[in-house]
Amino acid sequence: MTKPIGSDQLTPLYIYDDGERKRLVEAAAQLPSVEISSAAAANAVMLGGGYFTPLQGYMNLADALGCADNMHMSDGRFFPVPILNLVESIADIEGAERIALRDPNVDGNPVIAIQQVDSIETVSDEQMALMTEKVYRTLDPEHPGVAAFNGHGRYAIGGPIQVLNFSYFETEFPDTFRTAVQIRDEIERRGWQRVVAFQTRNPMHLAHEELCHMAMDRLNCDGLVIHMLLGKLKPGDIPADVRDGAIRTMVKLYFPENSAIVTGYGFDMLYAGPREAVLHAYFRQNMGASHFIIGRDHAGVGDYYGAFDAQTIFDTEVPEDALEIEIFRADHTAWSNKLNRVVMMNEAPNHTKDDFVLLSGTRVREMLSQGIAPPKEFSRPEVAEILINYYQSL
């Protein structure tokens, strides 16, 4: 199992001691407080679970700018994206040494974490533009990640945090949400050494399923961690509970026993393409994976990124010694009518586009909403049934 990044062990920021956590919850009620963004709350969840080891909290502006510009903080440590607590107003917290961070995603806005205030800095338009351009490779306000990042406010609160809960993820997804600590423990319990991780924000169709089997076979892996995003998505994406049901059904029916685990993590999608792929690899190493699948247009949206930019960034921008986890580079996978099986399209010579079963996302959604199951070469019937029920309930 891979070692955590920059440490011999994970450094989760969640307060596991019940007595200490209760004391901090009581103390938080007396502290100046601020309601943070959904992105900052998701960052707290990831920090709490050990996924962002060895970070101790939210970055100051210099560290954030360094991570955006060259994926390094001021002290030289590698981290692929800024981890910021950006707020719109500091009127209620000026001069405070410690503040309570209130969760925007839970009724009543309970305190999700306590932050030590090391710095409060105003982010200039030029600095926001630099970070946006470097991370998202565009300044287009129509890009959902760009719009979200630039809508969080311009005051950056830097400093370490103590995490008091895991927001709505632990309660709404009790069977799926897992911290990096829990996943490492599960991998160790199963005796797995070589572990490949698969990222998804969508249900898994037959091509995704077969891609996971290919990776496990070619890498000689002991197990697979299907690790789905449970946080905020863009409008039109399928909700996490529906994805969860579809993926669990697929694993139960089509994977050997003790070969795959279905888990999820609490983070809001950035849609940052290549840079987000590096972040995905970073925290998959922290959760114990030795390999990570990156396919075509990983973490992309629209036409902002090249089909394989999320793979080539590991060759062109990520320092050679930054990550121990290895990348399994996948092409688009689809059913070949010639070979009567799912293949990577770049491994299928003498094929034309018409030789593959290819359906656009729009067409699949149309079929499902009409109660029509996609062909068996595209989707398992049991998965299609779950998705049909969802679309017909809208």
Residues marked active site are found at 201-202
Domain contains 101: yes
**95-125 pLDDT per residue, tens:** 999 999 999 999 999 999 999 999 999 999 9
Read off the pLDDT band of 394 (50, 70, 90).
confident
Helix (H) / strand (E) containing 138? none
Taking the CA atoms of residue 20, residue 176, residue 300 and residue 392 in that order, the dihedral angle to the nearest 10 degrees is: -130
Query: Is 67 a member of any domain?
Result: yes
Question: What digits encode the pLDDT tens for the residues 255-308?
Answer: 999 999 999 999 999 999 999 999 999 999 999 999 999 999 999 999 999 999
Looking at the structure, tell me whether residues 34 and 122 fall in a common domain: yes
- The pLDDT value recorded for residue 29 is 96
Phi, psi of 184 (to 5 degrees): -60, -45
303 and 243 share a domain?
A: yes
**Residue where a domain terminates, one of 167, 188, 210:** 167
**Is the N-terminal amide bond of 54 cis, ω within 30° of 0?**
yes
Domain membership of residue 220 (yes or no) is: yes
- Asked whether residue 8 is assigned to any structural domain, the reply reads no
pLDDT value at residue 240 = 86
Which residue, 167, 193, 225, sits at the end of a domain?
A: 167
Same domain, 208 and 322: yes
93 inside domain: yes
**4 lies in some domain:** no
pTM of the model: 0.95
* 358 located within any domain: yes
Give the pLDDT of residue 120. Answer: 98
pLDDT interval class at 77 (50, 70, 90): very high
341-378 pLDDT per residue, tens: 999 999 999 999 999 999 988 899 899 999 999 999 99
Among residues of the chain, what percentage have pLDDT more than 70? 100
Alpha-carbon distance 271 to 229, whole Å? 12
Do residues 334 and 357 share a domain?
Answer: yes
| One domain for residues 162 and 179 | no
Q: How many residues does the chain have?
A: 394
Q: Is the pLDDT of residue 235 over 80?
A: no
Q: What is the pLDDT of residues 179-230, one digit of tens each?
A: 999 999 999 999 999 999 999 988 999 999 999 999 999 999 999 999 999 9
Co-location of 178 and 91 in the same domain: no
SS3 category, 361: helix
Same domain assignment for residues 182 and 163: no
Indicate whether 245 and 379 sit together in one domain: yes
Report residue 175's pLDDT band, with 50, 70 and 90 as the boundaries: very high
Domain finish residue from 167, 201, 233: 167
Write down the H helix ranges in the chain: 18-28, 38-48, 61-70, 125-136, 144-149, 169-172, 180-190, 206-219, 240-254, 274-286, 309-316, 361-369, 381-393
Whether residue 204 is found in the same domain as residue 144: no
Q: Are residues 156 and 245 in the same domain?
A: no
300 is in which domain, residue-wise?
Answer: 172-265+271-393
Answer yes or no: are the C-beta atoms of 357 and 368 closer than 8 Å.
no
Q: What pLDDT score does 67 carry?
A: 98
Query: Average pLDDT in the 15-28 region?
Result: 98
Tell me, what's the pLDDT at 233? 75
Residue 60 pLDDT more than 90? yes
What is the CATH number for 130? 3.10.400.10
Could you give the number of structural domains in the chain? 2
Question: Is 64 within 8 Å of 131 (Cβ atoms)?
Answer: yes
- The reply to whether 37 and 150 lie within a common domain is yes
Give domain status of residue 58, yes or no.
Answer: yes
Q: What is the mean pLDDT of the chain?
A: 96
What CATH number does the domain containing 198 carry? 3.40.50.620
Q: Do residue 189 and residue 116 come from a single domain?
A: no
